[in-house]
Amino acid sequence: MKLYVGVSLFEHEDDLKAPEDFWGKCFAFGRVDGIVAGLRGAGASASVPGLEQIAFKVQCERLQRLLDSRPPTLSLILGPHDEAALEAVAGIPKQAVEAVWLPPASSHQPDLVRTAAGWGVPVLAAVNGLGPRGFEALLKACDGAQTTLCYLAAEGEAISSMLMQLAWLRAQKYPVGLVANDKVELQSAAALGAEVLVPSRARVFKEDWQGVVVRLRRIAEAARGDGPRPITREEMDGLRDEVPVLVAARRLEPGEAIVKADVAVRILRRRGLAPFMLEAIAGRKLRYGLDPGEPFSFGFLKEPESHD
């Protein structure tokens, strides 16, 4: 699972004034893998009332500063919201970019999708609001590019809608991701096997998210089935009083001499002789009979012949 921080280059971002400090924060928050840097052209702000947009030239300068200061351990994912933004980043060296994130505005435009897919890097494409035809058009425009289908959760949206979207996509064997700020939604997506999670910078940097980040990675590991099967508390309680003991492998009659083939090891909650005592009882005669599975104890054994 990859965990990225979403950053809007087109809004006032105080953290971006010092890119080195910004990357340092990314690295500090529980192994965040990098950022999704959103770019928006001048024309796109008209459809977002009240948006306080930074000039497009300044956005590109911010993007370049992030690229110049990017540590080798962290990744940059470009998020062009429109054609102008996609054209502006077309000259960036492709080895500096891990993927292209296409939010709903651009993922619904086949021409932009084809351009992004032509970069030769993975594409993260939002599927919000795509009906069957739009969904098919998106997949066709990706044309074989490695594509993760992401759901962008709206503020206040019912979590069931997000879960149904991701569960359906996973059932169709598509790689899926989630862009959201709600901790419960992110944890649910990790449990569903989402390969990409993107909370916003505002949440990650202004809240104590380090524990959340660690939890998300643990949930993702559990969803993949990595490692041995976990033991529940109930199982631990059951194992607490269970020990391996020597038991009769068959019905043994009084007076019989014990041979090793007549002895088995079972895990029981009853006290008995430990397995390492097998040599000590082999050859001894029984004072009383034993049923199959009944544990041995020295009380069942006669004293050695030399003591009679």
**84: pLDDT strictly greater than 70:** yes
Of 296, 227, 236, 226, nearest in space to 264 by CA: 296
Quote the tokens at residue 58: 């300044």
Tell me what the mean pLDDT of segment 149-155 comes to.
86
Q: How far is residue 211's CA from residue 190's CA, in Å, rounded to a whole number?
A: 15
pLDDT at 94: 67
Instruction: Give this prediction's pTM.
Output: 0.69
What DSSP string runs through 86-139? Answer: HHHTTTS-GGG-SEEEE-HHHHT-HHHHHHHHTTSS-EEEE-TT--HHHHHHHH
pLDDT tens-place string over residues 166-192: 898 999 999 999 998 888 889 999 999
Q: How far is residue 298's CA from residue 118's CA, in Å, rounded to a whole number?
A: 79
**What domains can you pick out in the chain, each with its CATH number?**
2-224 (3.20.20.70), 233-307 (3.90.1210.10)
